[in-house]
Amino acid sequence: MLAEFRENIYHCLKCGACRIAYPEYTPICPSGERFGFDSYYAIGRMEIARAVLEGRLEPGEKMAHRVFTCTSCGACEEQCRPAVGNRPLKVIEELKADLVEKGFVPANLRNFLKNVHLYGNPYQAPREKGGEWALGSGVKEYRGEEYLLYVGSEGSFDPRGQKIALALAGILQKAGVSFGILGSRENCDGNEVNRIGERGLFEALAEENIRIFKELGVKKVVTLSPHAYNTFKNDYPGLGADFGVVHYTQLIRELIAGGKLVPKKSPAARVTFHDPCFLGRHNQDYQSAREVLGAVPGLELVEMERTRRNSFCCSGGGGNCYADLLGGGGDRNPARIRVREAYGTGARVLATACPACAVMLGDAPAAEGLEGLIEIRDVAEILLEAL
Ligand code: SF4
Ligand code: SF4
């Protein structure tokens, strides 16, 4: 209920700190940069929430576009919380839930939700095709192994995500990790559904996943995506989950530290790392992926200006990896902005540790005229090549 966030809404100082990363003073909100009006930044969305709360503004399509183009990246909170002590993203997500309840959801996001509801994934892929990405790789369905490898919808069905899933599986095999996958029993984790505010569907997905995990006796999960990691770690325990979860970069860091994986070759000289929002800002892990990259001999890791807590979102969160509400926009497109920033460091590889980031950033080098000059790679792909 929006009314429960009255205090947050009225405590917005209209200072605009949520638009700019401190102390670099660089733009930080992907939707604001894409569309340019205050109503696409947290500052404007707080005003929209206040107007809705006071009954001065009726929900409509224009309002829904301004609200659902928020990618839940958390950058506004990262600026607002220390400066003002407020939680703008909490308010925006409550506003989304309010709009879902009133039936105002942009068509692309409605389709995303419908597909997840009907198919258990946003790709309209039949469930029985869930494990096809792993055919011929030697990866087996989960039967009580130490880890369940949860690859998620991109890892299962998106061609880019499938390559990353295979790279990760290859690394785990080389390290001798005991793991299995759910294959046709894998279901959407629901992180995006929850962030969009479709809470009924989220709870149904989570309860179903928890039931399957319990039935199979899963005690440890390793995820390909930071989005799944986020919801398994932070949302599922409140719904009765009793399994531990790590993001794959965390497990690999341990395997390298324990001598189970020894990177030997350098597949890329200069690399910069794009912090995925659901690994970094939402879960405070800025280090694992950097340590994995740092273990590759000869690899030079350089930082972009917007890094770690001030990372600039690729625009794929909040369901936008599928709905693409922030697509287009020429050189104001967030993925293109990010690729320009990465190229400016002198890096020739933009690394990330999230299949959604890899998908979102994937077309940006060509759009920027940088095809062949900078490559988008996942940490798992870089490491596998180095082993
Ligand atoms: S949301 Fe926070 S940072 Fe943004 S204008 Fe309001 S008080 Fe300032
Ligand atoms: S969460 Fe990200 S996209 Fe949403 S208002 Fe905040 S900075 Fe902008």
User: Is the Cβ–Cβ distance between 345 and 272 less than 8 Å?
Assistant: yes
CA of 104 to the centre of ligand 1 (A): 25
**Could you read off the pLDDT tens digit of each residue along the chain, which spans 387 residues?**
899 999 999 999 999 999 999 888 999 999 999 999 999 999 999 999 999 999 999 999 999 999 999 999 999 999 999 888 899 999 999 999 999 999 999 999 999 999 999 999 999 999 999 999 999 999 999 999 999 999 999 999 999 999 999 999 999 999 999 999 999 999 999 999 999 999 999 999 999 999 999 999 999 999 999 999 999 999 999 999 999 999 999 999 999 999 999 999 877 689 999 999 999 999 999 999 999 999 999 999 999 999 999 999 999 999 999 999 999 999 999 999 999 999 999 999 999 999 999 999 999 999 999 999 999 999 999 999 999
Where does residue 194 rank: exposed (0-12), middle (13-18), buried (19+ CB within 10 A)? buried
pLDDT at 54: 97
CA of 122 to the centre of ligand 2 (A): 23
CB of 67 closer than 6 angstroms to any ligand 2 atom = no
pLDDT of residue 268: 66
Are the C-beta atoms of residues 227 and 278 closer than 8 Å to each other?
yes
What distance in Å separates the CA atoms of residue 299 and residue 288, rounded to the nearest whole number?
16
Q: Among 1.10.10.10, 3.40.50.12780, 3.40.50.10700, 2.30.40.10, what is the CATH number of 262-386?
A: 3.40.50.10700
Ligand nearest to the CA of 9: 1
Domain 123-255 = CATH 3.40.50: yes
Does residue 53 line the site of ligand 2, with CB under 6 A?
Answer: no
Residue extents of the structural domains in the chain: 2-105, 123-255, 262-386
What's the gap in Å between 197 CA and the centre of ligand 1?
22
Q: How far is CA 202 from the centre of its chain?
A: 16
Can you say whether residue 224 is alpha, beta or left, with left for phi > 0 and alpha for psi between -120 and 50 degrees? alpha
What pTM, to 2 d.p., does this model score? 0.97
Query: Do residues 230 and 189 lie in contact, with contact meaning Cβ atoms separated by under 8 Å?
Result: no
In terms of C-beta density within 10 A (0-12 exposed, 13-18 middle, 19 or more buried), how is residue 265 classed?
exposed
**Ligand 2 pocket residue status of 31, Cβ below 6 Å:** yes
What's the pLDDT score for residue 265? 86
How many angstroms is it from 62 CA to the middle of ligand 1? Answer: 22
Residue nearest to atom 3 of ligand 2 (CA): 70
Tell me the residue type at 193.
Answer: V
Could you tell me if the CB of 30 is within 6 A of ligand 2?
yes
Ligand 2 atom with least separation from CA of 31: 3
Ligand 2 pocket member 89 (CB < 6 A): yes
For residue 29, the one-letter residue type is C
> Cα angle vertex 135, ends 130, 139, to 5°?
90
